[in-house]
Chain A
Amino acid sequence: MEFTVHHTCNKEGGEDKVLENYPFLSEYDPKKNMKPFLGQGYYFWDFNLEYAKVWGKNHYSNKYYVCESDIDVDHEKDGFFLDLAGNRKHLVGFIELLREFDFIHKEGTEGIDLCYIIDYLRTKCPPEVFPFEVIRAVDYKNNEKIGIKVVFNNTQNSYTILNPRIIFSFKSKENIVHLTKPSIAFKS
């Protein structure tokens, strides 16, 4: 499955150095209160240059590059790609997996941030518990007013969002298959 992705990073080192080392690892940084959304990993925006710029402005003091490349994610290999953005079967499977924690305590994983849950499944449990190398999820913001919401018709209050922010997280760099040479799509 092919995707065009964007990755925001610091300008440090210049274009050549950045493209050579692209993408960069997102890690926990307690001093800056940085907690990668889906745990430690290599992050991309799913075709979202505009939001990649917003991220750069807010997180890199407006000194950033947005890199772009086409990648291929193996969606047929069982247990490799967890698509929480576009696959209901994956969502249901993931929720059922988390419900296993209810055997320990009735609260289960309630109240625990997703980043900690994913890291826990990856690092504290046997490898077969969470084999997924790639995770895709929608990034919603609480109480967000901006966005393109379109109602389906005038009979109900149902709507869809035409510009969801979708993120990819790769556990390791080796699993990122670039179909095109990465390039700088934007520099601040």
Chain B
Amino acid sequence: MKAFERAKLALREHLMQNKQKVAADLIAMREKSKGNDVFEYIKNLSGSYVLSDLTTTKEVVYDFSLDDDTDSYNLINELIDHPFYSPPPDLIFDPNSKKDAETSSGSFFC
């Protein structure tokens, strides 16, 4: 069949002359072939975005309170009663105390 021989030669010539364009077209066709028709979908979406098309879900209020079976304790009250992270007594700020004397940097190495 001569038609196939002619077709192959013509196609090869076309491909050589339009290599980048054909490569991009093949990628686009492969994407479309996945069944999602991404390009058409996006094109159609831009023209069909009306509020009536939008679906909304009903607001659901979740109850995050703990049931009686859950072990819990009142951390805030415990922190007030027992200040775990309070500074050592000698570092508690006293507004009446005077500023410490300046210490020279060399004294740290004594």
Contact = CB atoms under 8 A, between A and B. Distances in A.
Contacts of A30: 37, 40-41, 44
Interface stretch (A37-45, A56-64, A126-134, A172-180): A126-134
B30 A111 contact: yes
Interface string B32-45: 11000100110010
Interface stretch (B13-21, B50-58, B59-67, B90-98): B13-21
Given A104-B22, A120-B25, A131 B33 contact: no
A100 interface: yes
Per DSSP, are chain B's interface residues mostly helix, strand or loop, or mixed? helix
Interface residues of B, number: 26
Contact of B10 (A78, A110, A113, A128): A128
A110 B33 CA distance: 10
B25 to A, nearest CB: 7
A97 B10 CA distance: 10
Considering residues A33, A90, A96, A97, which has the most beta carbons from chain B within 10 angstroms of its beta carbon? A97
B26 A105 contact: yes
Contacts of B37: 30, 33
Interface residues of A, number: 35
B48 to A, nearest CB: 10
Contacts of A103: 12, 15-16
A86 interface: no
Contact of B26 (A33, A109, A125): A109
Considering residues B14, B16, B19, B44, which has the most beta carbons from chain A within 10 angstroms of its beta carbon? B14
A-B interface, 8 closest residue pairs, ranked by CB to CB distance from nearest? A79-B3, A93-B4, A30-B40, A113-B33, A128-B10, A116-B29, A129-B11, A112-B29
Interface of A: 30-31, 33, 78-79, 89-90, 93-94, 96-97, 100-101, 103-105, 107-113, 116-117, 120-121, 124-126, 128-132
Interface of B: 1-4, 6-8, 10-12, 14-16, 19, 22-23, 25-26, 29-30, 32-33, 37, 40-41, 44
